Amino acid sequence: MTTAPIGSGMESTVPSGQPTDTAPATVADQAPTTGERRLLTGLMANSVALYAVYGAVPAVLLPNLVADIDPGSKSTSLGVISAVGAFGAMLANPVAGALSDRTHGRFGRRAPWMAGGALLGGLSLIALGLGNNLLWIGVAWALAQISLNGLQAPLTAVIPDRTPEHRRGVFSSAAGLAQMLGATLGAAAAAGFAHALGLGFAAFGVLVVIGTAVYLLLNKEPAAPAPQGEVFRWKAFLAGFWVSPRKHPDFGWAFLGRFLLVLGYYCVASYQLYILDDYLGLTRDHANHLVPLLSLSMLPGLIVMIVVSGPWSDRVGRRKPFVIASSLGMAGALALPLVLHSVASMFGYAVLSGCAFGMYMAVDTALMTQVLPRPDAAAKDMGVLNVANALPQALAPAVAAVVIGALGGYSALFVAGILLTVLGALSILPIRTVR
């Protein structure tokens, strides 16, 4: 496939997935260009808005909506609805990425998919807030997941598309900071809509449209000419989604490591409201008031570790130690509520998980961009890797429901989270082309 030129003046000239040494200090320390600053601002604005939705809906708005409609079976119902959304998310992210790789026209490759995903996602969230039965909620959430993952796939291709490799730690840090700020502030803000859920869903639907508009206005894509001499074939298109772990083992290990870490974290995070309610015995109103406080308590360590870790990994030319350390740190955070069983331990978990996830988000994206099999199919391959992020987030409530129901309640859930995050750390060790 012939790739349309990006034309941003910031493209990487180093093929992704190749081992690299530390960039020279004179290059790594250069001030960002005006184009890089615009790209950074737009990327952060869009990521904050998108991840505010991911923080607000699964953690607060959707559990409250399900509990209002089906209080007797809220845990199981939430798990089923989340599993339905997971299937849509799993398909939408890599498909939208692959289609954006092949898109041509006056508005570029990525912008049409980002705009369409944001608009449809916003409308789906508004419809979700109007739901008064489980079927409506399940369908609306699935549509929202599909649309928002259609936005996320081309958005994540921005870093491999438009940033040089020696800057990717900084951009990965910025993206990670924006994502976690969005998720944390989204969950905190959503608690204020606990008794006005329809308004809350609508507010976050509008927010994601605004965030996407900021990125697109600041970072206009050049027209993408149609590739010459290439015939589209469905068989080849569909086969492209399979990345052989035998031919590209580092890609496979990176996918597995991300999948396990995210699943372990969100198995607990998606049930935070119910943990406070059922595991610690708080009233529902008390639990709703504590959720934003727990989210805000993550912020100091989160911000510090994101700001420090990405540039630090650029300077030392290493990614793996940061990702492994953050995964093990997450396991330690999950152990606190298991052992101590108190509100204080939940705050300790929040602080430590903020530090761990801050380091993880700062460096993981940079590592992922360096194991891509084909730089000319960056959005498709990043979309496949995003399945390891979106799918476990969507599956986590369903997996957690099974663990809680079949293996001994919320204590078993914390044990499962610890095991998954440790296995995620171990999965990074075999990667060879990234230090």
Sorted by where each begins, the domain ranges of the chain are: 36-224+245-428
Which range (46-50, 77-81, 115-119, 412-416) has the least confidence?
77-81
Is pLDDT of 409 > 90? no
| pLDDT given at position 212 | 95
By C-alpha distance, which of 371, 422, 381 is closest to 19?
371
Residues 357 and 326 sit within 8 Å (Cβ to Cβ): yes
Torsion, Cα 365 367 369 374, to 10 degrees, reads -150
CB distance 314 to 168 below 8 Å: yes
Answer yes or no: are the C-beta atoms of 382 and 396 closer than 8 Å.
no
Q: What is the pLDDT of residues 103-113, one digit of tens each?
A: 777 887 888 99
pTM, to two decimals:
0.67
Q: Tens of pLDDT along 139-163?
A: 999 999 999 989 998 888 888 777 7
pLDDT at 206: 97
CA 3 to chain centre: 26
Report the distance separating Cα 337 and Cα 116, nearest Å: 41
348 within 8 A of 238, measured Cβ to Cβ: no
Distance CA 271, CA 268 (A): 5
Which tokens hold the place of 196? 């006005």
**Are 302 and 358 spatial neighbours (Cβ–Cβ below 8 Å)?**
yes
- Indicate the pLDDT class of residue 80, thresholds 50, 70 and 90: confident
pLDDT digits (tens, 9 = 90+) for 5-47: 223 333 333 334 444 444 444 444 566 677 778 888 898 999 9
How many Å apart are CA 296 and CA 291, to the nearest integer?
Answer: 9
pLDDT band at 235 (very low <50, low <70, confident <90, very high): low
167-207 pLDDT, tens digit each: 777 887 888 778 878 887 898 899 889 889 999 999 999 99
- CATH fold of the domain at 36-224+245-428: Growth Hormone; Chain: A; (1.20.1250)
Beta-strand runs (E) in 83-203: none
Is the pLDDT at 330 greater than 80? The verdict is yes
Find, among 412, 389, 394, 387, the residue nearest to 402 by Cα. 412
The whole-angstrom separation of Cα 66 and Cα 374 is: 42
- Mean pLDDT lowest for which of 144-148, 363-367, 376-380, 412-416? 376-380
Give dist(CA 7, CA 192) in Å, integer.
43
Look at residue 19 in the predicted model and tell me its pLDDT: 42
pLDDT on residue 22: 42
